[in-house]
Amino acid sequence: MSDTAKQLIQNEIDTNPVVLFMKGDADFPQCGFSARVVQILSHVGVPFKAINVLADPAIRQGIKDFSNWPTIPQLYIKGEFIGGCDIVMEMFQSGELQTLLKEKNIPTHAES
């Protein structure tokens, strides 16, 4: 991975409380897995930054190298890699995602 891609990824993770590296964007996901994570985050009402990996091949491969995780989407909360679609879905269904967001002091619509 190039230093530029690594710095860009690290900067996004450091400056945004919730970051989703995905295919497409939040308004128009380009794969079902990305769409599902967007739907979950929208349902819990957490604001997030979506990074479209399809727009930059260096980021698309770079995020996989950065996290040592082979698939996209990838969710980060307060700098911590959470996982991909299956993990986010399981965490949401068990309530663990909502608990994590609360522990990290990230407001959701449920707290408004």
- In angstroms, the Cα distances linking 16 to 7, 11, 93, 95 are 14, 8, 24, 22
85 is in an annotated binding site: no
CB 17 within 8 A of CB 76: no
Q: How far apart are CA 95 and CA 108, in angstroms?
A: 13
DSSP element (H, E) containing 49: strand 49-52
CB 76 within 8 A of CB 22: no
**Tokens matching residue 76:** 């980060």
Binding-site residue set for [2Fe-2S] cluster: 31
Binding-site residue set: 31
